[in-house]
Chains A and B, each alone.
Chain A
């Protein structure tokens, strides 16, 4: 370091009258001369002026100065100026130090003596420090000749076109599906009233066509790294589910889309479809599908049926497509439409407002009104692998059908004479007519599945035998058909017949075997079925004995209701104790009364017998219905398959493989007695597992399932609208109890078409897009792709322009104006849409009742110039309010009242516009509106709103009845600008606007070199100002990049290799990835191109090996010493 012979020149600036006379600059100069190493000290009126700089240059040259100190303003202003002067004189620019005696001294005190004193101290510190300065050098590095622009409103578009026309590549990123920002929503623009679309569409079209502009619409920048000239951005492109390259924008998809939702582009005044384009002239013209998380009904369906999809199809009368959607996941639509316990309805969010959609009944309606043979089958290649499905219940049929749809050869083996398993033997015909079951099974088989009836394990086939026959995989879906015993005395007496064989016999042969007085034991659906079948097959009286209360009964509510209606008696809180017999035949059931004790593992309260409460129910038939278990012995005969403690097959929870890898199992045989839909769900898992097994991809299965689980449960659904009307749940009609109890005809008659469609209309479309695939079918160019995923794109850019725009003030916050309470109170953006030719009323200014308003109030400064909200003036509201006034006058002739605080119309032709609107007869009232109410003083004004305000020019309170109120809401920084600011390192002011580097000297620059600002993100401004500023920002970017190189910083970190211990702490803390590790020397090394000199490494280094040039300990300690 050149400290031996410092020769320092000190220059004190008057800054006109800014520093002098508050600071006695002559005294400071005289004092400076006395400091060590100072060879010259003088003062001058403007050191930054040419003569001022000449002073320095001359002294360096003539007197051989090798250090310079200037005491003047902030280094932010003129440090570069003086450094350059040093350089001109041949001195390294870093042999310079600046003392700020303006902001830090003259401006901040009224006391001249103290100001002078402090100025002297500041000069001392600078002089002490500068002795220890060393020469530093910058490097030129090449730049990326491209500009990244964040935000595609008019500012972003203007910057993009300016930069691209200058020959730079531009990446324009816009988070909406269209470019044009808020202006795209406007109809006219002030003060010339030219059409917003006419002046913005040429720009949007140019953007779309410009060869040097890459438009990333529906995308957001998620990461920004690098430095001036060499930024790197990560862009997340959200999936539109429609291919931008092929979509022609014809709109057939939207015509077919059944889902209608409030349209944010129209400020929710109108609706749009789930597949949409915000407005006809949008760029890009590509439509977009909006999806939320899968609807709760779809999630809660064990089989994963697309419930929302088929409900929408029922709504639009497209029953075949409804059935097609159901058949994607349910092979037995008519069966499930009748017997499913519909967990979907429990989770239906419509029940938050009135009642759940009658989903199961809608499924049945679709199944009953569409053709199975018209359900399309996927076109797949036949495969050679053979699969044996043992058992033809719901699990077996699911496995067979969906494996067949994938092209496999499937053979079913059914031990009974007819297929269907429990569906046929367990569910009574009055709930599930056999014709429905037959038709659906026939359809499944018609896809090319071989059915072998009368053949089962232990009855013609064995597992080993099937393998020998060449089956590559075997599915065990043998159900749980063996009754569980009651374990009471005389259980085997004549007259005790278990529910499963009883139902089987009645369902298959209908012998009318019920006796006169029947007692059914149990509280599940099987018990209800047995009781209701008993009454149909000749019983005079039927009682159901259940050990808990009706509330705890596991049977479906409607089944219990149905049983009671048919005259079946419920005897609750009673347990069976002993069968009473006479001559080996049943004559009664001895029971004991129960009380409910504490809850057991199932959460239900445990029944506790009451001692001595035994009693006898006279009967001649007892039907226990207390459970079933799996008959596994025929399987075990030749193959050793693991069982659980419950006697069910022990399968892997992911692969559904038994302990024998080629043998899979699901359904009741795995779960124990459960529902049809759970068996179908198990079937689906097996289908996936068998496919993976046969493709030798078993290891992928676990990842796939983990991925799915991760996706579920975010619960991001379409919000429930506030004004949902209460609609009664559609109810199916039932056969009269007196009639139905004598026959096995179907009890539930289903929905009629009108009530089915009305009920389907209740669906809230929680998932937004219902994935009915109507758009796929409608699209002629096959542009729709529901599998599309988000894309991550990385781009390089030399400069970045932030143009993220604004949002409008939330009018609800000023509750006294009644926005959200009174329908005729609008925000300015809502009015823009109301007045727009492509808006919800096609540009007709009308009230919600369709009438034209006769008197309209416009309230200025809503949320602006308000100490409780935003203190600032939003700059555009006075002008657009007058534009509204003009439009209302012109289109409707209505009287217009404008309530303003001050009129602000500075700008070219603005004041003239104000004059014009006054001449058009608009009433201007100077006064802030106090409240808007629906209370009127005169009966003839009933139904109108009253605007209460003081006219501060006449000192009178006005209560003006009006038909419509427009709130001129102010501007606020855009949603998410905080994140953009953090990402780009650009700070925001207290109101959230981005800080420019200097309001006057660098209005479009930021403190971060190479990042510029355009438009409202920097502060509220109108269209002319925005466009001008955007051109300016592009100009700055062009000027930065045209040279082709930028200088790296000289004040960067260094790591002393002698001291570095190689701990790599600095590498972890470096935000710029600017430190590498040199393995050969075991030390960390700073990459001088990447380092930004932030100093993190310096403060983190435990060995004090890292430091920042120009901020060395020696320099800082000496500077401090100067102050002390």
Chain B
């Protein structure tokens, strides 16, 4: 299957997200078509400065996607996910906003006419791929691998309500289906401090500390993230002295290990906390 893909500014430079996503997608027959000449999603600072300019930024990428024939856009970053999803909602529900955005786009000869939907690339990988491929790698011994899933603050909120917004179980259910042991913890949707990491490092540090503390309680072999900002913050925080270190991977890197994809194709060497203990544990599993 082919999908339009919005990488976002952190995708290429993150610690192996791009490599591992590409590897897993090729395994699953997913083709990600980068939207040509995409621009900043409009997250954080831009949205804080001016709501409308954030909207126009998103609208431009949407129009580019529409031009290439896709109204569904995938992204792998939570900030992009939420910003784009919000923008898509505003543009499709408010004619005046759409007209204003199109006025700006007209100078480039672009126009947004269709309703755009945004999906996290994880949703497609989990829900839209053939089960037999997954099943052929299933191994009961994986239940000895303890995974703490960390969603970040923007994947579930404001899109899910009720307990699923604070204590989601979506990734857990999927990984458990593969055989992993997903540990329960209270830090699944805490803020990683991403937006504040530069201007308010102290506050950001405190926020990440809570995530590390929440996960640590459950003694996980790895933390799995779905966002380049989350991964960076949680990984980096643990490099401080006297902190128990848990490898912090992108979910695609864990899936790469599951599929036994060559390690050099997963960018694992870019992680700050070495994933060696996890890799070793996974390689030494006795199949049951």
Binding site for B on A (CB under 8 A): 815-816, 818, 821, 931, 933-937, 942
Q: Using a Cβ–Cβ cut-off of 8 Å, how many residues does chain B contribute to the interface with A? A: 13
A815-B162, A815-B167, A816-B166 given as contacts; is B190 within 8 A of A937 (CB)? no
Report the bound CA distance from A409 to B51 in whole Å.
97
- Interface check B275, CB cutoff 8 A: no
A937 touches B210 (CB 8 A): yes
A935 touches B213 (CB 8 A): yes
- Chain A binding surface, main DSSP class: loop
**Complex A-B: 16 CB contacts under 8 Å:** A815-B166, A815-B167, A818-B186, A821-B167, A931-B166, A933-B186, A933-B214, A935-B186, A935-B187, A935-B190, A935-B213, A935-B214, A936-B213, A937-B206, A937-B213, A942-B217
Report the bound CA distance from A942 to B209 in whole Å.
13
Instruction: Give the residue of A815, A931, A936, A937 whose beta carbon is less than 8 angstroms from that of B163.
Output: A815
Q: Which residues of A sit under 8 angstroms from B167, Cβ to Cβ?
A: 815, 821
A935 touches B210 (CB 8 A): yes
Q: Which residues of B sit under 8 angstroms from A816, Cβ to Cβ?
A: 166
Residue of B162, B206, B209, B213 with highest tally of chain A CB at under 10 A: B213
**A-B CB proximity, top 8 nearest:** A815-B163, A935-B214, A935-B210, A933-B186, A934-B186, A935-B213, A935-B186, A935-B187
A934 touches B209 (CB 8 A): no
Q: Which residues of B sit under 8 angstroms from A818, Cβ to Cβ?
A: 186
Chain A residue at minimum C-beta to C-beta distance from B217: A934
Q: Which residues of B sit under 8 angstroms from A931, Cβ to Cβ?
A: 166
Chain A min CB distance to B87 (Å): 27
Report the bound CA distance from A818 to B186 in whole Å.
10
A-B contacts besides A816-B166, A934-B186, A937-B206, 7 pairs, CB < 8 Å: A815-B162, A931-B166, A935-B186, A935-B187, A935-B214, A936-B213, A937-B209
Chain B min CB distance to A772 (Å): 39
Provide the B155-181 mask, 1 if CB < 8 A to any CB of A, else 0. Answer: 000000011001100000000000000
Chain A residue at minimum C-beta to C-beta distance from B164: A815
Q: Which residues of B sit under 8 angstroms from A942, Cβ to Cβ?
A: 217
Q: Which residues of B sit under 8 angstroms from A815, Cβ to Cβ?
A: 162-163, 166-167
Q: Which residues of B sit under 8 angstroms from A934, Cβ to Cβ?
A: 186, 214, 217
Residue of B162, B190, B217 with highest tally of chain A CB at under 10 A: B217
Chain A min CB distance to B188 (Å): 11
Q: Which residues of B sit under 8 angstroms from A937, Cβ to Cβ?
A: 206, 209-210, 213
Provide the B211-225 mask, 1 if CB < 8 A to any CB of A, else 0. Answer: 001100100000000
Q: Which residues of A sit under 8 angstroms from B209, Cβ to Cβ?
A: 937
Within residues 23 to 82 of chain B, which ones have a CB less than 8 A from any CB in chain A? none
Report the bound CA distance from A972 to B241 in whole Å.
52
Q: Which residues of A sit under 8 angstroms from B206, Cβ to Cβ?
A: 937
Report the bound CA distance from A815 to B186 in whole Å.
12
Q: Which residues of A sit under 8 angstroms from B213, Cβ to Cβ?
A: 935-937
Chain B min CB distance to A945 (Å): 10
Q: Which residues of A sit under 8 angstroms from B217, Cβ to Cβ?
A: 934, 942
Chain A min CB distance to B211 (Å): 8
Report the bound CA distance from A31 to B163 in whole Å.
65
Report the bound CA distance from A931 to B166 in whole Å.
10
Q: Which residues of A sit under 8 angstroms from B187, Cβ to Cβ?
A: 935
Within residues 170 to 210 of chain B, which ones have a CB less than 8 A from any CB in chain A? 186-187, 190, 206, 209-210
Q: Which residues of A sit under 8 angstroms from B166, Cβ to Cβ?
A: 815-816, 931
Q: Which residues of A sit under 8 angstroms from B214, Cβ to Cβ?
A: 933-935
Report the bound CA distance from A334 to B170 in whole Å.
51
Chain A min CB distance to B220 (Å): 15
Q: Which residues of A sit under 8 angstroms from B162, Cβ to Cβ?
A: 815
Chain A residue at minimum C-beta to C-beta distance from B190: A935
Chain B residue at minimum C-beta to C-beta distance from A816: B166
Q: Which residues of A sit under 8 angstroms from B163, Cβ to Cβ?
A: 815
Chain A min CB distance to B113 (Å): 38
Provide the B121-135 mask, 1 if CB < 8 A to any CB of A, else 0. Answer: 000000000000000
Report the bound CA distance from A936 to B190 in whole Å.
13
Chain B min CB distance to A464 (Å): 66
Chain B min CB distance to A132 (Å): 58
Report the bound CA distance from A935 to B162 in whole Å.
20
Chain B min CB distance to A354 (Å): 15
Report the bound CA distance from A495 to B163 in whole Å.
72
Report the bound CA distance from A931 to B214 in whole Å.
15
Q: Which residues of A sit under 8 angstroms from B210, Cβ to Cβ?
A: 935, 937
Report the bound CA distance from A933 to B166 in whole Å.
11
Report the bound CA distance from A816 to B214 in whole Å.
15
Report the bound CA distance from A933 to B190 in whole Å.
11
Chain B min CB distance to A1122 (Å): 50
Chain B residue at minimum C-beta to C-beta distance from A934: B186
Report the bound CA distance from A931 to B186 in whole Å.
11
Report the bound CA distance from A305 to B75 in whole Å.
61
Chain B residue at minimum C-beta to C-beta distance from A813: B162
Q: Which residues of B sit under 8 angstroms from A935, Cβ to Cβ?
A: 186-187, 190, 210, 213-214
Chain B min CB distance to A937 (Å): 7
Q: Which residues of A sit under 8 angstroms from B186, Cβ to Cβ?
A: 818, 821, 933-935
Chain A min CB distance to B279 (Å): 28
Chain B min CB distance to A948 (Å): 11
Residue of A816, A933, A934, A935 with highest tally of chain B CB at under 10 A: A935
Report the bound CA distance from A937 to B209 in whole Å.
8
Report the bound CA distance from A1059 to B191 in whole Å.
80
Report the bound CA distance from A1003 to B209 in whole Å.
57
Chain B residue at minimum C-beta to C-beta distance from A941: B213
Report the bound CA distance from A933 to B209 in whole Å.
14
Report the bound CA distance from A936 to B187 in whole Å.
11
Report the bound CA distance from A935 to B213 in whole Å.
6
Report the bound CA distance from A821 to B184 in whole Å.
10
Report the bound CA distance from A942 to B244 in whole Å.
15
Chain A min CB distance to B227 (Å): 19
Chain A residue at minimum C-beta to C-beta distance from B162: A815
Chain B residue at minimum C-beta to C-beta distance from A812: B163
Report the bound CA distance from A816 to B161 in whole Å.
12
Chain B residue at minimum C-beta to C-beta distance from A822: B186
Report the bound CA distance from A935 to B217 in whole Å.
9
Report the bound CA distance from A577 to B163 in whole Å.
65
Report the bound CA distance from A36 to B6 in whole Å.
82
Q: Which residues of B sit under 8 angstroms from A821, Cβ to Cβ?
A: 167, 186
Chain A min CB distance to B167 (Å): 7
Chain A min CB distance to B97 (Å): 29
Chain B residue at minimum C-beta to C-beta distance from A938: B213
Chain B min CB distance to A825 (Å): 12
Chain B residue at minimum C-beta to C-beta distance from A945: B186
Report the bound CA distance from A1069 to B190 in whole Å.
62
Q: Which residues of B sit under 8 angstroms from A933, Cβ to Cβ?
A: 186, 214
Chain A min CB distance to B140 (Å): 15
Report the bound CA distance from A933 to B187 in whole Å.
9
Report the bound CA distance from A521 to B167 in whole Å.
58
Chain A residue at minimum C-beta to C-beta distance from B187: A935
Report the bound CA distance from A162 to B56 in whole Å.
74
Chain B min CB distance to A997 (Å): 39
Chain A min CB distance to B166 (Å): 6
Report the bound CA distance from A816 to B210 in whole Å.
16
Chain A residue at minimum C-beta to C-beta distance from B163: A815
Chain A residue at minimum C-beta to C-beta distance from B167: A815
Residue of B186, B209, B214 with highest tally of chain A CB at under 10 A: B186
Chain B residue at minimum C-beta to C-beta distance from A932: B186
Report the bound CA distance from A821 to B214 in whole Å.
14
Report the bound CA distance from A815 to B210 in whole Å.
19
Report the bound CA distance from A818 to B166 in whole Å.
11
Q: Which residues of B sit under 8 angstroms from A936, Cβ to Cβ?
A: 213
Report the bound CA distance from A933 to B210 in whole Å.
10
Chain B min CB distance to A607 (Å): 29
Report the bound CA distance from A936 to B186 in whole Å.
11
Provide the B83-107 mask, 1 if CB < 8 A to any CB of A, else 0. Answer: 0000000000000000000000000
Chain A min CB distance to B39 (Å): 36
Chain A min CB distance to B120 (Å): 23
Chain B residue at minimum C-beta to C-beta distance from A936: B213
Chain B min CB distance to A820 (Å): 10
Chain A min CB distance to B266 (Å): 30
